[in-house]
Structure 1
Amino acid sequence: MTHTQLSGVPETALWTLRNRAEEALRPDSVYTDDESISLYRALAAEDFDRFGPPSQVHSLRAMVIDEQITDFLAFHPAGPVVALGEGLQTTYWRVGAPEVAWFSIDLPEMIAAQERLLPPAPGITRLARSALDRSWFAEVPRGPAVITAEGLFMYLPTPEVHRLIADLAEHFPGGVLIYDSIPRVFSAMTMRGKVRLSPRYTAPPMPTSQSPRQARRLPRMIPGVVASHDLIPPPGRGRWGSPLMRRAANTPLGHALRPSLTLLRFAE
């Protein structure tokens, strides 16, 4: 059995892996993720129970991002795909291991974990850098790209996030950026250490929040951003698929209280 030896923010990759794998294992789920299941089983020595009960949130997020990557590659078959803070995501395999230039940018300890734990993938170039370390720009071609920041921006200071988005827009003209956000109330709870998934695990501080309304303002705030779209996940089970809950999520109050997925388009 294998332990990952991850801690701090990188440890959250195990949280999202467990949720994706548990969802993919359900016979009543439409979500498939064979690589997550394989890795989850290989890491059976990990204390996944510390992350509390499984949730559908990460598999629903993954389904939206998979769809957006697939749509982009339909028009740009060579890519590239740029995955910022990719962690132990298995997106590359879920979208069919496409023959594109795929760049995974993450902290050195996470890149080491990817190389140790994930299947060989000659199409992936792994760069052991912080997403905020702009030196990786020199290794990724300038031009249209689909960029993902899945489970990343909430852990970074808001001014740094906005500066990074502006730099991405400049380096990837005609590209798109897909990222998820948390509501302000959840961010505030994490900053006070109040989000305890179990008695053995407290979620790390997440200083940056964003509502759909705030996302709509970004084209007026960040150079190079020309459009912002609120991406709605597919229905899940139970409350995740309730028509009443989905309608409530699209009210002004719902926008302020729900997590969100945003797609930004960059100027050509």
Structure 2
Amino acid sequence: MINNKTDAQLGSIQQTLFMPVWARAKETAKKKPLLTDHVAEKIIRSIDFDFRQLDKNVTEISQIAWIARCMRFDRVIKAFIEQYPNATIVNIGCGLDTTYERINNKQIQWFDLDLPDVITLRKRFLEETPHRKFIASSFLEPDWMDSIKGNHVLLISTGVFVYFEEQQIRKFLLEVVSKFPGAELFFDVTSPKGVQIANDVIRKSGIQFNSCFKWGLKDKSVICSWHQNIQLVGTYHTFKVEGLSLSLPNKIKACFSDKLDVQYMIHLKITM
């Protein structure tokens, strides 16, 4: 039998992009989904990857966490676009993310940035347009920043920074301070305890385990200490999203996760 599925030849860190895609597809299949993503369903059907490992080993609360995070990102981005309809948005480590499809107002300029092998895979399912471009690069290589123009820039990153060491993220943010005065950033972070929990999820998923979380943020104020122009706008707990419905066992887990800052999101502004 001929296998017509897309062969995804990716590095170990890049393989982790399958988990949020799987989570969105799984949510879409529910009778009352919190988020609908038919592109994710198409990707799941088309890629030559054994998603049964995720169905079997990833807990429901982990799947819901990905959805809750998507919901929060969507709302923050939409609020930014309402304020700046012609905004420039850079999705760092985009993977197979489909945020653009959900929030596009037909005026924004959007850039999806990821490593070359991911962008090659991405092009099989998603298209560039005059308002949406792909950039094949590591976010740690600052040359890509020169191609980003616009007065109202929002840099977003979901499930990416945790795979790198703190000093790498610090260096990146200092480049952002230099290149994008006035810009805003929105990304997720994980506590040291959250790093342990997440790596256990990755280990059970069947994905190569050298793609493990590294950066566990103990104190969010540390980020603002890196430069006087890095300002904390706000933080958001993962599960405190309006419309999120949880069973009692999952509600208890979510409460502990949020209370202990296991995983949350940070909104920064680069002052001028």
TM-score, reference length from structure 1 = 0.86
| Kept in 1: contact 2:91–2:156 (CA 8 A) | yes
Q: 1:261 aligns with which of 242, 246, 265?
A: 265
Separation (CA, whole Å) in 2 of partners of 1:207 and 1:232: 20
Gaps of 5+ in 2: none
Q: 1:26 aligns with which of 1, 26, 30?
A: 30
Separation (CA, whole Å) in 2 of partners of 1:163 and 1:200: 28
1:46 matched to 2:49? The reply is yes
Question: Which position in structure 1 is the counterpart of 2:246?
Answer: 237
SS at match of 1:148: strand
Gaps of 5+ in 1: none
Q: How does 1:218-229 map to 2 (within 5 A)?
A: 218-229=223-234
1:90-138 CA distances to partner (integer Å, 9 max, x unpaired)? 0100113633211111111011111122245442111111000000011
Cα gap change, 1:239 to 1:150, in 2 (>3 Å): farther
1:5 matched to 2:9? The reply is yes
Cα gap change, 1:147 to 1:199, in 2 (>3 Å): closer
SS at match of 1:226: strand
1:124 matched to 2:132? The reply is yes
Number of matched pairs:
259
| Kept in 2: contact 1:145–1:176 (CA 8 A) | yes
TM-score, reference length from structure 2 = 0.85
Q: 1:145 aligns with which of 146, 150, 153?
A: 153
| Kept in 1: contact 2:9–2:117 (CA 8 A) | no
1:154-201 CA distances to partner (integer Å, 9 max, x unpaired)? 11111110121122133222221111122202435777x895224675
SS at match of 1:102: strand
| Kept in 2: contact 1:60–1:236 (CA 8 A) | no
| Kept in 1: contact 2:174–2:227 (CA 8 A) | yes
1:11-64 CA distances to partner (integer Å, 9 max, x unpaired)? 011111101110121113221222222222233x42112233361111111111
CA RMSD of superposed structures (Å): 2.5
Q: RCO greater where, 1 or 2, for CA within 8 Å and sep 6 or more?
A: 2
SS at match of 2:15: helix
Cα gap change, 1:164 to 1:236, in 2 (>3 Å): farther
Cα gap change, 1:31 to 1:222, in 2 (>3 Å): same
Residue identity over aligned pairs, in percent, reads 19
Amino acid corresponding to residue 12 of structure 2 in structure 1: G
Separation (CA, whole Å) in 2 of partners of 1:167 and 1:236: 39
| Kept in 2: contact 1:10–1:87 (CA 8 A) | yes
Cα gap change, 1:153 to 1:200, in 2 (>3 Å): closer
| Kept in 1: contact 2:237–2:263 (CA 8 A) | no
Separation (CA, whole Å) in 1 of partners of 2:84 and 2:7: 38
Separation (CA, whole Å) in 2 of partners of 1:198 and 1:57: 15
SS at match of 2:225: helix
Cα gap change, 1:76 to 1:89, in 2 (>3 Å): same
Cα gap change, 1:238 to 1:108, in 2 (>3 Å): same
